[in-house]
Structures are given as structure tokens and as C-alpha cells.
């Protein structure tokens, strides 16, 4: 089971995790990640733009790829768009599996791939003005760790 949602509204971390594990007694592990709007004082707000249609497709493909690589059971990805304030939740990724190592690995893989393949763009608002967040080389390196062709 794969659930993908792109929404302006906040999500309830606890409700997402409960839904992932509900009525599935073969799942012995649930790993999750929540990304937050970070500000060390300078960033006052952020907006997230995306490519409607492609976003959902790209996230579903990333989840399918994780299912091919690990014996995982359920995947849930919720990504917010629109205007967000420091401390607010941006993204939820949750994975269930029979055992913890598969759940941990798949969860990290999903985030690394999402960071480099899902069409979202962040813009930060500071007292000095607004700026598009630049992609980090370290994100590409993190994603390339999972390449199968070496």
C-alpha cells in the first residue's frame, strides 16, 4: 500500500503513523521522518512551489522503487506546499516493514530520492528580501549512494 498526498494543510504525525500500522500484524517495524522549516533567526517564512501532476507521479515512482528494493509493507508520503513558518512541518515519510533494518533503509532512501527527484522548490523570506533556495551538492551525493549501477 502506497499513500501519496500533496497538500497545503498541516498533517498529524501521530495519525499518519497509526494509519500506517493499523491492522497489519506482519509489520514489526515503523520508521518515519518529518522535515521541518529550519530557521536560525534569519528566515521568517518559506513558500513551497511544485509541479502539479508530476509531483504526485514522481513521489509514487520513488515509493515504488523503494518497494522493489526492500521487503517493505506500507509507504506514506505527505508533502506540504504553500506558505510555511519556522518550526512548521514540511514533509512526512513513513514506512512499515517486517523488520527495522528494511524500514530504516527504505525511509532514508525515500527522503534522499525525494530531495533530488520530486519537483518542489523552496523560497525563503528574510528581512533582507526573498531568495530561492539553491540545490545542495550534498543532496545529489546522498541520493547517488543508492545507485545500483555503482
In DSSP terms, 125 is beta-bridged to 45, 130
Which grid cell is 11?
498533517
Q: Which of residues 59-78 bind other proteins (CB under 8 A)?
A: none
Q: Using the rule CB under 8 A, is 53 a contact of other proteins?
A: yes
The only residue of 117, 126, 141, 144 in contact with other proteins, by rule CB under 8 A: 117
**What is d(CA 85, CA 96) in angstroms, rounded to the nearest whole number?**
30
Q: Using the rule CB under 8 A, is 149 a contact of other proteins?
A: no
**What is d(CA 8, CA 122) in angstroms, rounded to the nearest whole number?**
14
Q: Which position has the grid cell 530531495? A: 115
We find the least distance from the C-beta atom of residue 149 to other proteins, in angstroms, to be 17
Which grid cell is 106?
527504505
3-class DSSP assignment, residue 102:
helix
Nearer residue to other proteins within complex by CB, 27 or 111: 111
Nearer residue to other proteins within complex by CB, 44 or 51: 51
Q: Which residues have CB under 8 Å from 69's CB, separation 6+?
A: 106, 109, 146
Q: Which position has the grid cell 533503509? A: 105
The only residue of 76, 97, 107, 111 in contact with other proteins, by rule CB under 8 A: 111
Nearer residue to other proteins within complex by CB, 36 or 44: 36
Q: Using the rule CB under 8 A, is 36 a contact of other proteins?
A: no
Q: Which of residues 2-31 bind other proteins (CB under 8 A)?
A: none
- Interface positions with other proteins (CB under 8 A): 35, 48-51, 53-54, 57-58, 79, 90-91, 111, 114-123, 132-135
Amino acid at each position: 500500500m502506497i499513500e501519496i498526498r500533496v497538500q497545503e494543510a498541516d498533517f498529524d504525525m501521530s495519525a499518519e503513523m497509526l494509519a500506517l500500522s493499523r491492522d497489519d500484524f506482519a509489520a514489526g517495524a515503523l520508521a518515519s521522518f518529518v522535515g521541518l522549516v529550519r530557521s536560525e533567526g534569519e528566515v521568517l517564512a518559506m513558500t513551497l512551489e511544485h509541479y502539479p501532476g508530476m509531483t504526485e507521479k514522481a513521489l509514487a515512482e520513488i515509493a515504488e522503487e523503494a518497494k522493489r528494493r526492500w521487503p517493505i509493507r506500507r509507504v506514506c508520503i505527505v508533502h506540504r506546499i504553500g506558505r510555511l513558518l519556522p518550526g512548521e512541518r514540511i514533509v512526512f515519510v513513513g514506512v512499515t516493514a517486517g523488520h527495522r533494518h528494511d524500514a530504516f533503509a527504505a525511509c532514508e532512501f525515500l527522503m534522499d530520492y525525494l530531495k533530488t527527484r520530486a519537483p518542489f522548490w523552496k523560497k525563503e523570506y528574510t528581512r533582507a528580501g526573498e531568495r530561492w533556495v539553491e540545490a545542495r551538492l550534498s543532496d545529489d551525493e546522498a541520493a547517488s549512494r543508492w545507485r545500483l549501477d555503482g
